Structure 1
Amino acid sequence: MSGKLLEMKGVTKKFPGVYALKGVDFDLEAGEVHALLGENGAGKSTLMKILNGIYSIDEGKIFIKGNGVQISGVKDAQKYGISIIHQEISLVPYLSIAENIYLGREPLTKAGLIDKRTMYENAQKFLNDFDLGLSAKTMIHTLNVAQQQMIEIIKAVSFHSKIIVMDEPTSSLTEKEVDFLFKTIRNLKEQGVGMVYISHRMNELFEITDRITVMRDGTYIGTVKTKETTNEKLISMMVGRDLTNYYVRDFSPSGESVLKVSNLTKKGVIENASFELRKGEILGFSGLVGAGRSELMKCIFGLDSFEQGEIFVNGEKTTIKNPNDAIRNRIAYVTENRKEEGLFLIQSVRYNITIKIMDEFIKFFKVDSNYENNETNNYIKELSIKTPSPDQEVKNLSGGNQQKVLISRWLATKPKVLILDEPTRGVDVGAKAEIYSIMNRLVKEGVSIIMISSELPEVINMSDRVAVMCKGKIQTILNKERFSQETIMHYATGGN
């Protein structure tokens, strides 16, 4: 085991009512990027949380550089040179960048006080090395999601760890930031650092990893060398079958206008945005991080105010001042930030799915439990939500299953206009195909969908038309015959 930084043998973990891991093996070489791949709920994050001391191990052994170790907490993991970048951002919003990077390990003066000068200087050096153009004194809550993700990465690197786990590290990054991350990963490899890389983006795995281990339903399926495998083989290992018709879409001529936005402006954010959504179509919204796509949709849904502009629903001018106004107009919005803006994490799957339709099964203080249970079970089945029971707390589900719970909540309102903001972020290929199938069925039934996505293949294959935004403006709206990654990127980067 001389070349191995890490070995995990026979790792088993059980939660109430379900085995999360059953006898899983995994190893990591020095200077290697080893991918963990599997559908949501396969056990990838659970395995890495055991490695990082967040979860205790029920059965199995862990070896670091050939020596058996007990990892009973995060401090133990740090002692053994292990850092993890979580899928969900876990920074403290009202502390500065420097305070977050050095939280719990602040440099001290001889008098035992926090040496703020040294802390800020060291943090600034990391920021400069990553060419982020940020001050170490900037408060976290003022940063966008992509910037916060980069701070998470810097924090992990700052530990000078020999084992770094990256759980969906690029889910919120622009193409430029992904390129920089990969450059950083290659530099760390040269220093002998081993990295565990969890991602559902197959193209990334083939670009940056050396080996890929596939898990399914909490079990170990196999390990392959990246250069000796294919996309199709990996998908088959993940889902246990060949996945055909990945992008499920039946295209048909679009009908009448169901939503029209005219000259919507929010100072410094959105400038004269105008577009029309037709019945039974998917209108994709593409653009780089910060282009204003989510901000525009929040204005339409009543989550944000705007200075000027008009909204028409089914041809009639409509005032939407808050989300309740939007819901009354049969508009639903699935946020990209499910953890902070979408889900009630300490509530059950049932509660989260049915919270918006309670008036349908609660009448005069009487609860129609059969109706509530039927609605819940229908969506658990329809979206293949992996949960031991409808009473499971949502915080205990994987990120992808949390996303499917959130989508279910809004589908339960029977919307006519469904806004999906990054609907497949952090979702595995099998679940993506299921979500695409649901979208296809909805538009065939006459629902109209606005889909914001940073994945160009998703935008191109699922949309009838694509609106491309740059710096708060809609640069163009492309018809399907004009779709290409090059054309979309041309407009997304400010081209005319």
Structure 2
Amino acid sequence: MGENKLILEMRGISKDFSGVQALKKVNLSVEAGEVHCLIGANGAGKSTLMKVLAGVYSMDEGEIIFDQKQANITNPISSNRLGIAVIYQELSLLPNLSVAENIFIGKYPRKYRYLLDWAELTKKSRALIDSLGIKIDVMEPVSCLSIGHRQIVELAKALASNAKLIVMDEPSATLSSEEFETLVRVIQELKNKGISIIYISHRLEELFRVGDKVTVLRDGQYVATKQLKEITQDQLVELIIGHALSKEKKPKVPISTIEELVTMKDIHTNKLTSINLSLYKGEILGLYGLVGSGRTEILRAIYGADPLQKGELYINGGKVKFRSPAEAMKKGIALVPESRKTQGLLLNLSVWENAVVPSLKNYTWFGLLRYSTMFKHVNEQVEQLMVVTPSIRASVKNLSGGNQQKVVIAKWLLKNSNILLFDEPTQGIDIGAKEEVYKIIKGLSDKGFGVIVASSELAELVQLCDRMVVMFNGNIAGEFQQEDFRDDAILHCAVTGG
């Protein structure tokens, strides 16, 4: 990076919330024109530090130097005026307004003092979008754009505010691989313009793609800042969690091919064609493929969410034809969905209420809830799955992503499900919580459960699975046994279809 000046220095930042020390004398320095990654486990203090920078929280102690001047950030407006823009994971665009209106919202060009100058608005918006090398119709409503293009509009909005530093919080969480590649290219364009970026992501491989440096936080404290080209992913993991991460693969144990829990024979749905697939007792079966390949659709077909147009489905040896997920649940099938917040949990309810939703009838006696038995069983699951929560009465929305995922798993174990379908089981959770979820999944297979894991992370499936099926365009493109797992062969199959 040469002798670039520092655009940002956060020195000795501390923040306390009612006796809970969220940040303790944290330091962060970012150079002009640099992509500086910020990482740490859930609860490490990343979001709190960025909210201090954005003016959402006031710091209890410390100082901020921005563009080599003492900064007095008291609210988001004062932060934005300095040239700091924050793009949160939940984008702040107004879907019914056009791209141009969103980019310049609050600062529209005017003519005759009171009238909006549409020609100038269109011209300026096109210039900004063109500067990022993306073709987007600036008069199109944002609601018509893909998630990837909405990210680009957020970046253009930041540039319109003359941002010198852009904070990007989990920008790739909902992007396809193609959209992520576009984002990588746009980030490079921003660097070339001398704009600095703080990039927050749980996906470690991304940091090495886009970043120059990385700062690690743990338990609200500064751990280290490293040049990414001088550190390995394993070393970074050790800094994040404070100890080396176990990379043990699931031990190869003989899987009984006699007891089939799931059998799909020539299954067709509106997204799948001629699917023949089996899941055996005690097996972890992986589903891999690019976005739109049909991974999720296989889970939905088994779970009764997508109707079968043709073919036969057998569960525990018996032929079934599910008309709804409720019928699949009665046969011991459970789905841990990709979006736990919108599909897996009722966020305004407590841990215990979420855990017993599918099995509530098991805890009623003549219409009355048997609270003591119910609480006993929920507490047992919370303890076995190591859910970190103040109590089972705590609201599930206040838990970390990893602990929310454990609550989703707990509710299906209370339902006595023996076939578990996981769709992107570690999406949006930190590296330490990932390891805990892996242990849970492996433990379930050891107890004889049948497990199917659909994931876009190949390394995850290689570590977890006994067998892997690769999907391509709604078809099975290939199948690999654990001893044959080779990244190049699997990726070739996923990209070419065979």
Partner-residue secondary structure (3-state), 2:496: coil
CA distance in 2, matches of 1:103, 1:47: 27
1:219 maps to 2:221: yes
CA distance in 1, matches of 2:379, 2:18: 20
The correspondence of residues 12-411 of structure 1 with structure 2, limited to 5 A, is 12-15=14-17, 18-88=20-90, 101=103, 110=112, 112=114, 135=137, 152=154, 155-156=157-158, 159-245=161-247, 247-255=249-257, 256-267=259-270, 269-411=271-413
Aligned residues between the structures: 495
Partner-residue secondary structure (3-state), 1:327: helix
Q: Does the 8 A contact of 1:281 with 1:448 survive in 2?
A: yes
CA distance in 2, matches of 1:3, 1:368: 65
Partner-residue secondary structure (3-state), 1:276: strand
Q: Could you tell me how far 1:420 is from its partner in structure 2?
A: 0.9
CA distance in 1, matches of 2:119, 2:341: 34
Q: Does the 8 A contact of 1:17 with 1:388 survive in 2?
A: no
Partner-residue secondary structure (3-state), 2:291: coil
Match of 2:426 in 1: 424
Q: Could you tell me how far 1:436 is from its partner in structure 2?
A: 1.0
TM-score under structure 2 length normalisation: 0.86
Q: Could you tell me how far 1:416 is from its partner in structure 2?
A: 1.3
User: For residues 91-141 of structure 1, what are the alpha-carbon distances to aligned partners after superposition, in whole Å with 9 as ceiling and x for unaligned?
Assistant: 556666555555555555657466667666766666666676665566666
Q: Does the 8 A contact of 1:40 with 1:401 survive in 2?
A: no
TM-score under structure 1 length normalisation: 0.87
Q: Does the 8 A contact of 1:261 with 1:312 survive in 2?
A: yes
Q: Could you tell me how far 1:36 is from its partner in structure 2?
A: 1.5
Q: Does the 8 A contact of 1:284 with 1:465 survive in 2?
A: yes
The correspondence of residues 443-462 of structure 1 with structure 2, limited to 5 A, is 443-462=445-464
Partner-residue secondary structure (3-state), 1:493: helix
CA distance in 2, matches of 1:251, 1:317: 28
Q: Could you tell me how far 1:453 is from its partner in structure 2?
A: 0.8
CA distance in 2, matches of 1:124, 1:320: 50
Q: Partner letter of residue 84 of structure 2?
A: I
CA RMSD of aligned residues (A): 3.3
Q: Partner letter of residue 255 of structure 2?
A: P
CA distance in 1, matches of 2:475, 2:124: 38
Partner-residue secondary structure (3-state), 1:205: helix
CA distance in 2, matches of 1:272, 1:132: 38
Q: Does the 8 A contact of 2:471 with 2:497 survive in 1?
A: no
Residues 402 and 310 (structure 1), Cα distance of their counterparts in 2 relative to 1, 3 Å cut: same
Match of 2:13 in 1: 11
Q: Partner letter of residue 303 of structure 1?
A: A
Residues 205 and 257 (structure 1), Cα distance of their counterparts in 2 relative to 1, 3 Å cut: same
Q: Partner letter of residue 264 of structure 1?
A: I
Q: Does the 8 A contact of 2:216 with 2:225 survive in 1?
A: yes
Residues 392 and 250 (structure 1), Cα distance of their counterparts in 2 relative to 1, 3 Å cut: farther
Matched-pair identity in %: 38
User: For residues 263-311 of structure 1, what are the alpha-carbon distances to aligned partners after superposition, in whole Å with 9 as ceiling and x for unaligned?
Assistant: 33333x3333332222211111111112232234234323344544432
